Structure 1
Amino acid sequence: MTLKPDTEKIAVPATTATGPAPLTPLGLFTVLLGAALSSIDFFIVNVALPSIERDLHASPATLEMIVAGYAVAYAVLLVLGGRLGDSYGRRRLFLWGVAAFGLTSLACGLAPGAWWLVGARVAQGAASALMLPQVLATIHATTRGEGRAKAVALYGSVSGLGVLLGQVLGGVLVAADLAGTGWRMAFLVNVPVAVAALLCALRAVPDSRAGQPRRGDIGGTLLLGATLIALLLPLSEGRATGWPLWSLLTLAAAPPLAWAFIAVERRAEHTGGSPLLPPSLLCAPGVRRGLVLGLPIFIGFSGWMFVSAIVLQQGLGYGALKAGLAIVPMGVTQIAASMLAPRLVARLGGRAMTLCALVHGSGLVVLALTVLWLPWPSLGPLALAPGLALCGLGQGVELALYYRIVLAAVPSARAGAGSGLAATVQQSCLAVGVATVGSLFLALVPGLGMRDAFAVVLGVQCVGLLGLALLSLGLPRRLS
């Protein structure tokens, strides 16, 4: 089906002579609800993984694909979704994204098998990629001054709330087993929320679009998707299947595909096109440094969330609700730290990243000592709380600083391209983290046992955070 500019007569909030209508409180609530849906859904599935494994007889590698498939589709289509909104109307793409998210959530909840669920999760990630870019773009286009500052601050808090609500809500829904639905309700709950968001959006979200929209980069999008799939599929499935020839060939194809992607992006930029990820942005040392800082943050974070879900429920025997509540100390301190991040940056500048990396690493050390020294079968949530709280303090500042560092090095005229680059790297790293850290953990469990394998993974993540602390020493004292 071919996209066409808005011509149909649907209820669109009126536009002013100088631009789109201002965003009302209901409109702001609606777009933030869309952002919350995509954030919560990434984390809600972690609590449901052991139940999915039992019910669908899914292998551990398939569980990785259930999580990573969502992040890959999200990462690959994120920039394209933003450009479609610029061209055809952000309100229209938001409506399409919300509707698609509701339908794909229904497909996830009704999945008859594990690979059906993987496919539905990929489609769900694609729906999120249509929906999420319109949120910040709509806020930017329809708010001014103090109203915009408050709206952006609320948008920034959605990520931290997503971690907390996703884990707790997932635990509650799986444990409640409403009408025998079990893990399926973790997906089905999205359907009525999406319907409500759709109705509110029809009424309250104003339309806006870019004055000079850019073309989509179909070639770059396909090559980026092929590169990530060639990397992640063998890392997830190869270990479990004994590294057959197809997995080695696929993994070997990842570097040439990455080279082809870079070449296509360079050619598109040199010929005046609209590359998915403009290579010239990487010429700025600040952008490169910021993106490199994101690698240990997001790879470690997604790997940790995947591994912790398995450790808490299968290793320690927690139920889904208890496992979700066990993560609450991390979620609470993460939200608090993200709110305090601006003050910390004002006082410490780039050293704030160094400090939070060390705090995060100390939390992982406390967790490792806790699981190694205390009786493993009877280890309760209270014993894990101090380490988790420290991890949340570090993560809250890390996540807030990542975008600030990257975008500070991007010219204001290219802020859209810079934010797209930062978001794509973030989502790609979330997928890579599940495939790499998750695969390492699963490979170690048969030989070491779950407790020692968990401690090793925590040590690997500590090494990454130490690298983050050292790299952050090169950040300027003052961050714009």
Structure 2
Amino acid sequence: MTTIVSSALPTELSERQKSLAYLTLMIALVLEIVDVTIVNTALPVIERDFGAAAAQAQWVAAGYSLAFALLLMLGGRLGDAFGYSRLFIGGVAGFTLASLLCGLSASPGQLIAARVLQGSAGAMMAPQVMALIQVLYGPMERVAKLAWVGVIGGLSAISGPILGGILIHANLFDTGWRSVFLINVPVGLAATMLAVRLLPGARSPLPRGIDGRGTALLGMAMAALLYPLVRGHDLGWKPWHFALLAASPIALALVWRRTVRREGKGEAPVFPTALARQRQFVMGLSIALVFGIATGGFLFVFAFGAQTLRGYSPLETGLLHVPFSAGVMFGIAFLGRKLLASYGRWVIFGGISLMAIFAGMTLGWIEGSMPYIWALPCLGLAGVGMGMTSGPLTPVMLARVDPAHAGVASGIVKTVQELGMALGVAMVGTAFFAGSGRTMLPAIAVIEVLLVMALGLAIRLPSALFPEQER
């Protein structure tokens, strides 16, 4: 995604200045990650306020993730070419403006457009965080700083629904659901001003160029897949919906053909084709995509169903995420990290199994009439399963990748994860709304099928996940 920078700082910074610059990067990271999940708690309120259709509510969530995923690698390459700080500042400023537009939206269409703009700005901002950490710190210092990036990122993702519920309940200045977007404005302005003052100017010494047409073709392929999945049921599944679905793999094949051709000519491809020949990387991406669709869909329909079927308020729905969040952190920080070296693929297999069992039981609680006390352990154990899977999966995917491709491989991983979230909202959300939003059973069925597919892929991972284990 970004070229590793090993040159000295453009200007010497004191430890205090570097710490403040790092803090600025973390503020922006939290803004971007929280906005992926914070909207789930607000969607039922937005739908009631606007009288929006179910598909429009899905696009409020999916539009952000889709725009972010499709432009992420482009954002990394623009940073290489034009400077990391410049792209970071522009991305934060654009994200802040888009957040303001979200909060001021007067119709579902305006809100969806603002969310797409928000995701696009986030894609310009996010890749520069990792690059600037490499500029600010030496190799040994980066280890601790990057570890904190993982911890802060994980906490941000699972705190989004909780924060959304608290903000809507507080109803600051009578803003209701709009507060989940407007809260970004003062934070984003502060981050922009700090970035202008504190971040060093740096860019890649070997910028790789950009395949604009290839990136656009990839975007069209994903849009052709996602749009029918979100709007097909709502519009009655017209023939052209099926034509778009059929066109998506054709467009992906054209992206691959173009990538091979450009790489053969020595021109910048969308991604290095060598990565597609690395079996463990491809297997890991497949698991990440399927698991991401399942978990993204689960989080979407859980927040929606808790409010529309069980009658919980946004605050109560947000607080219901606490045991899930605690489980995710326990799964990442303790179980996944400690067990991976000893048990390898069985850690990922076990995590997916926990998610399959207890995510289904959680949604079954919404469907049934059991008391809320039933949901708490189910949510906690589903969270453990998610943490045991998502935590180890990234290092497993990158374990055998050539270091020369580490940056772009990381970008592909992040892109696939975001696409999984967008597709999860589309596929599982469509299954939920196909039942008129009154039953969880279609959504549960889709989630369980996806997780069984992920289990089938996980069992095919090699027994030795890391080269060191073969010695």
Provide TM-score, normalisation by structure 1: 0.90
1:350 to 326, 342, 345: 345
Partner of 2:31: 37
How far is 1:202 from its partner?
A: 1.9
How far is 1:361 from its partner?
A: 2.4
Segments of structure 2 that go 5 or more residues without pairing to the other structure are: 1-7
Partner of 1:8: none
How far is 1:479 from its partner?
A: 6.1
Given that 2:292 and 2:417 are in contact with CA atoms closer than 8 Å, whether structure 1 keeps it comes out as yes
Question: Per-residue CA shift, 1:256-301, capped at 9, x if unaligned?
Answer: 2222211111112111112122222101112111111212221111
> In structure 2, do the counterparts of structure 1 residues 311 and 460 end up closer, same or farther at CA, with 3 Å as the change threshold?
farther
Matched residues, number? 459
Partner of 2:20: 26
State the alpha-carbon separation in 1 of the partners of residues 250 and 243 from structure 2.
12
How far is 1:53 from its partner?
A: 0.4
> In structure 2, do the counterparts of structure 1 residues 105 and 325 end up closer, same or farther at CA, with 3 Å as the change threshold?
same
Partner of 2:464: 476
Partner of 2:3: none
How far is 1:96 from its partner?
A: 0.4
1:414 and 2:402 aligned: no
State the alpha-carbon separation in 2 of the partners of residues 105 and 45 from structure 1.
12
Partner of 1:303: 297
> In structure 2, do the counterparts of structure 1 residues 479 and 69 end up closer, same or farther at CA, with 3 Å as the change threshold?
farther
Residues 76-475 of structure 1 mapped to structure 2, 5 A cutoff: 76-340=70-334, 341-367=336-362, 370-371=365-366, 375=369, 379-380=371-372, 382-445=373-436, 449-472=438-461, 474-475=462-463
How far is 1:132 from its partner?
A: 0.2
Q: Could you tell me which amino acid in structure 2 is paired with residue 48 of structure 1?
A: A
Instruction: Give the SS at the match of 2:166.
Output: helix
State the percentage of identical aligned residues.
36
State the alpha-carbon separation in 2 of the partners of residues 14 and 259 from structure 1.
42
Provide TM-score, normalisation by structure 2: 0.92
How far is 1:217 from its partner?
A: 1.2
How far is 1:165 from its partner?
A: 2.0
> In structure 2, do the counterparts of structure 1 residues 27 and 260 end up closer, same or farther at CA, with 3 Å as the change threshold?
same
Out of 217-226 and 159-168, give the one that drifted further.
Answer: 159-168
How far is 1:365 from its partner?
A: 4.6
How far is 1:369 from its partner?
A: 5.5
State the alpha-carbon separation in 2 of the partners of residues 199 and 469 from structure 1.
45
Partner of 1:10: none
How far is 1:360 from its partner?
A: 2.2
Out of 323-332 and 265-274, give the one that drifted further.
Answer: 265-274
State the alpha-carbon separation in 1 of the partners of residues 385 and 270 from structure 2.
31
Q: Could you tell me which amino acid in structure 2 is paired with residue 452 of structure 1?
A: L
State the alpha-carbon separation in 2 of the partners of residues 425 and 415 from structure 1.
15
State the alpha-carbon separation in 2 of the partners of residues 156 and 479 from structure 1.
23
Out of 76-85 and 264-273, give the one that drifted further.
Answer: 264-273
State the alpha-carbon separation in 1 of the partners of residues 138 and 342 from structure 2.
27
State the alpha-carbon separation in 1 of the partners of residues 326 and 415 from structure 2.
26
